[in-house]
Every structure is written in structure tokens, then in C-alpha cells.
Amino acid sequence: MTDSAYAWFEREQRERGIDMTQVKARLNALKIETPSWGYADQGTRFQTFKKAGAARTVQEKLEDAAMVHRLTGACPNVAIHIPWDHTEDYGKLAADAKSLGIGIGAVNPNLFQEHDYMLGSVTHHEPEVRRRAVEHLLDCVDIARATGSDALSLWFADGTNYPGQGDIRQRKAWMEESLREMYRALDPGMRMLIEYKFFEPAFYHTDLADWGMAYNLALKLGPQAEVLVDTGHHPQGTNIEHIVAYLLDEGRLGGFHFNARKYADDDLIVGSANPYELFLIFSQIVLAENDSANPLVQRTAGRIAYMIDQSHNIEAKVPAMIRSVMNVQTQYAKALLINWNALAEAQQAGDVLEAEAAVRDAFEQNVTPLLHAVREEAGLPADPMRAFKTSGYAERIVSARSSAVNAR
């Protein structure tokens, strides 16, 4: 059935002017990093509901991440969070991951849980606290080196809750100074991905509040610094794909933290709240990937770090991650089905309705047969969710992880 469904699909796309060989190759090349912390219990400020089977140790998180990769073939790396995933021997951690068929992805420093950091970390008014924070950043560079990771993913909760609480420009200077020291410690092949956030947990001002602040900082630091776009970190009404296009154009789009939200930074499953938005983000990426006339843009698009960063407060964690990966594949697949010639023609003619239709028409395609075919050709289960259900994995981890080991 899948075969014929795909055959039908391919015929339709050929009629729409789409080269399916290229589409399938690019779908195959899409890799999405899953976060170790997405396999552990998380919650809202009101409650963290404990889930049977949730990973409690870094080893269990690796196992879950490996399971997601086994079923999807798309998630060869797992991001780690320090100190949540702290271990005495990071070389061993990398080896453990490797033995499970995966690798260590971005290293995420954590500078928001120690009591010292209550009023800031790299922007704290006390030099001792800033020093401690910078040392943690430097440690994370070492951890990246030890685990073979080439990316440091930086999110700072730093900010203030009230007018007057901090000296905004002074904190800006401290942020720059701190990151400059970290930047100097990077190995040549390493990338520093700078994340920004509109609000929370700082409620009055956040030191890195928007893409402009992250971008300007990256500009000052140097070419290994890039901007990380978390899809949930924008004010309502923001055109995220515009920001994505802008950063691609400047050669500074480092990667994504994918998730979805209706109002604030809800950290829901990517693609579940507004799938069209995710599709439009990928439309800009596909267009940049195609832009052979602009090597900077094309190269930038080609090395985007796609990462998931969600909070599965009420969902079963492993299948929530599989669903997330599938949602990303779905919208990337749809973006690959845009007929760019038709679009450019309509734009050139100033035909607003046709141009809009050229984009939306791709979105309205049902790409399920395509994704099934691509997976099966790669020796993967056509439907990873169904494969997970029948795998017995969920039952196994529930029974295996029944003790009270605590982990985040």
C-alpha cells in the first residue's frame, strides 16, 4: 500500500514540477538533535509530575536518545546539559553514547539553578559570581572537547524582575566580557550558539532579549559565534521566518531550538500549535539551501544545528520526542515541495494571490507517503510512532526505572 501511495504521490509532484530525487536526498540528510533533558521529568512552576519510565540518569537519557535514533534514523546526536549530565569521565560518556549508536551534540551550560545566580550569572554585580560563571563556561568548552562535540549552546536566564534592579548597560558590558573570555577558549572547529529570549525567568528585562542583541554580540565575538533561534522565545505576532531569513543572509544563523507555543514559551511539541509557521521557517531555509549564487548563505543554511528543546510535562517522553522529529520532517518535506520557479514568476509579476498560492499549495500536500517511502528506503520503520508502540520499549523502561533515583 505504501509503495503505491508513494507512486501516486510522486506522479502528482512530478506534475507540480518537483524533482523527487533531490527531495528525498535532502530529507535523508536532515538530522535533528534531541536533548538529554527531554527524556527526564520536567514541569511548570506549579508542578513536575513524575512519570513512570522517565530517565533518571545520563545513561538512561542516552538509551532513550538512542532508541529515538534507531526508530527515526534522524537523530544521531544528543545534547547534554551541565551539570544535569555531569559525569566524572566525559570520554567515557562519549564512548557510552557511541556504543549506543549515537554521539554527543551541543553542550549546554546551566547558569540558572545555583543560589549564587539568583540575580544573574555572567552579568551578576559581584565579580566572584561572574568569575564562577565564566569558569563553568570554560569547563563546558573542555567538556565539548572531551566528548567530541563541536557546539556550545548558550542560554542565559540573566536579567532583572524590576526597574532599577540592575544597571542594564553595565550588565551588557559584563555579558560581552564574559563571553569574550569563553570565545577565546574555543577550538577552531567549535561553534558558540548564542540564544536569546524575550522573557522568563527574568520578567522585567532579559540581558539577551532578542535576536538583535544575540547577533550584535556574535558580530563582536567573531565568526565562530552564531545566533540560536528558539522558536518559543519571541513576542506574540513575531515573524520568525523573517528573522531566520535575515540571519541566514548575514551568515549568522547557527541553529534552532524547536518547540511550539500558543502564548509564552510553552515548550510544547514542535509543529503542534501552528504547523504553518514551522513550514514557513523551513521555506526560508530551503530557499537559502538553493541559493548557489550566494555561497555564504548556502553554507550557513547547510550547517544549521537543528535541535529540539521542549518540556514534556504531560506526555510520555520517548514518543513525544519521536512525534517531534516527525513533525519537523513533515514541514521540511512540505517546504521542499514548493515550486520555486512558479513562486519567483508570481513575485516578479507582482501577483500577490499567485505568489501566496505557490507557497501554500506545497503546505497542502500530504507528505505521509513520501516520508514513509524515504524511511523504508533507508531501512527504517515507515511509521516510527507505531514501531515504538510495538517495540515493548515503553514497558521495559517503566519496569526497569522503578527505583527512586533522582534526575532532571
Site for its own copies in 180-219 (CB under 8 A): 198-201, 203-205, 209-213, 215-216
> Distance (Å, rounded) from C-alpha 315 to C-alpha 214?
32
What's the min distance (Å) between Cβ of 147 and its own copies? 24
Is residue 150 part of the contact set for its own copies (CB under 8 A)?
no
- Which stretch, 31-39, 73-81, 94-102, 230-238, contacts its own copies (CB under 8 A)? 230-238
Q: Cβ closer to its own copies: 209 or 387?
A: 209
The answer to the question of residue 5 lying near its own copies (CB under 8 A) is yes
**Burial (0-12, 13-18, 19+ Cβ within 10 Å), 188:** exposed
Rounded Cα–Cα distance for residues 232 and 151 (Å): 21
Please give the distance of CA 321 from its chain centroid, rounded to a whole number: 12
Candidate ranges 33-41, 163-171, 177-185, 391-399; the one touching its own copies (CB under 8 A):
163-171
Q: How far apart are CA 404 and CA 408, in angstroms?
A: 12
Give the C-alpha distances (Å, rounded to integers) separating 276 from 102, 210, 230, 361.
Answer: 31, 22, 17, 12
- In 161-252, the DSSP E strands lie at 191-195, 205-206, 225-230
399 forms part of the interface with its own copies (CB under 8 A): no
Q: Are 108 and 79 a contacting pair, CB within 8 Å?
A: yes
Question: Which of residues 86 and 145 has its CB atom nearest to its own copies in the complex?
Answer: 86
The partner residues of 35 in beta bridges, in order of sequence, read 79
The verdict on 128 binding its own copies (CB under 8 A) reads no
Q: How far is the CB of 124 from its own copies (least distance, A)?
A: 9
Per CB under 8 A, contacts with its own copies among 301-320 are: 311, 313-316, 319-320
- Residue 28 Cβ vs its own copies, minimum distance, rounded to whole Å: 21
For position 398 contacting its own copies by CB under 8 A, the verdict is no
Q: Cell numbers at residue 18, please?
A: 518537483
Which of 181, 277, 345, 376 touches its own copies by CB under 8 A? 277
Which of residues 200 and 376 has its CB atom nearest to its own copies in the complex? 200
Which residues in the 334-373 window bind its own copies by CB under 8 A?
343-344, 346-348, 350, 352-353, 355-360, 363-368
Site membership for its own copies, residue 86 (CB under 8 A): no
Q: Which three cell numbers stand for residue 312?
A: 514534556
What strand order describes the sheet that includes 151-154?
Answer: 34-35, 77-82, 103-109, 151-154, 191-195, 225-230, 253-258, 305-308
Contacts to its own copies from residues 96-115, by CB under 8 A: 112-113, 115
β-strands 205-206, 159-160 pairing: antiparallel
User: According to the binding rule CB under 8 A, does residue 330 interact with its own copies?
Assistant: yes
> Using CA atoms, how far apart are residues 24 and 167, in angstroms rounded to an integer?
52
Determine if 168 is a binding residue for its own copies (CB under 8 A): yes
**Which of residues 3 and 8 has its CB atom nearest to its own copies in the complex?**
8
Q: What are the E-state strand segments in 25-160?
A: 34-35, 77-82, 103-109, 151-154, 159-160
Question: Does the footprint of its own copies cover residue 290 (CB under 8 A)?
Answer: no
Residue placing its CB nearer to its own copies in the complex, 73 or 120: 120
Nearer residue to its own copies within complex by CB, 305 or 355 = 355
Task: Please tell me whether residue 390 binds its own copies under the rule CB under 8 A.
Answer: no
